[in-house]
Amino acid sequence: MIKAQSKLNDARLASRIGYQFKQPELLQLALTHRSVSHKTNYERLEFLGDSLLGMIIANYLYHAYPHENEGRLTRMRATLVRQEALGKIANDLKLSQNLILSTGELKSGGHHRESILADTVESIIGAIYVDCQDLKILEAIVLKWYVPYLDIIEPSDQLKDPKSRLQEYLQARKKPLPVYEVVDIQGDAPNQHFKVECIVDGLPVKYGEGSSRRFAEQAVAADILEILEKKS
């Protein structure tokens, strides 16, 4: 029964990822945190996935922005591959429910920790490549994950974080500035998970989560920006 449930969960995850593994053990390895095993974990796949992701995003930006210089392209790539962006993709793929963690890591909120989720996205990228050995297939999958985020990145604002952009958006419209407050902290330092609420005039209270107060604030600011930009 447990094995059947595990296979069902793997099938659902494969569907969300958009790739069916020929070697399912690679997906299992990509989900296995080092707290479970120091020898058999996702770190080698993460190493590979990190380089592959950087190349895929660099190639996309090179062709999508033919008139931008190297410096701006580099900063745009950094925005798209940083922990915050990967954490969002992990949430889109609902990876937290499939992570393989030790009991201690699970109790400390590891399945919601942005750093672990970001690492897992990279390890899955590495696992897909090892399984298919086809860069074109991998590129199509990764860029599909990025669809919600590729259209909103602009060469002019790639250096500005979501909090700064939200503040500028509200100031330009003479609106009150957002108010952030930590409403929950799980785990012990340095492995804590923060939940922050953000109050913006005219909107329902929104919440963001992350491995630090800053990451949680950035996450909720990004969500609010998306809502406001859709309204305008």
From the list 50, 105, 114, 131, the catalytic residue is 50
Structure tokens at 105: 């890591």
Is 131 assigned to a binding site? no
Structure tokens at 100: 């393989």
Is 229 assigned to a binding site? no
Sheet holding 179-186, edge to edge: 179-186, 193-199, 206-210
Phi/psi at 126 (nearest 5 deg)? -60, -40
No. of H helices and E strands in the chain? 11, 3
Is 119 assigned to a binding site? yes
209 catalytically annotated: no
Show the DSSP H helices in 82-180 as ranges. Answer: 83-92, 103-107, 114-132, 135-145, 147-150, 162-172
122 catalytically annotated: yes
From the list 105, 122, 131, 217, the catalytic residue is 122
- Residue numbers belonging to the annotated binding site: 46, 119, 122
- Residue numbers belonging to the annotated binding site for Mg(2+): 46, 119, 122
Instruction: Report the catalytic residues.
Output: 50, 122
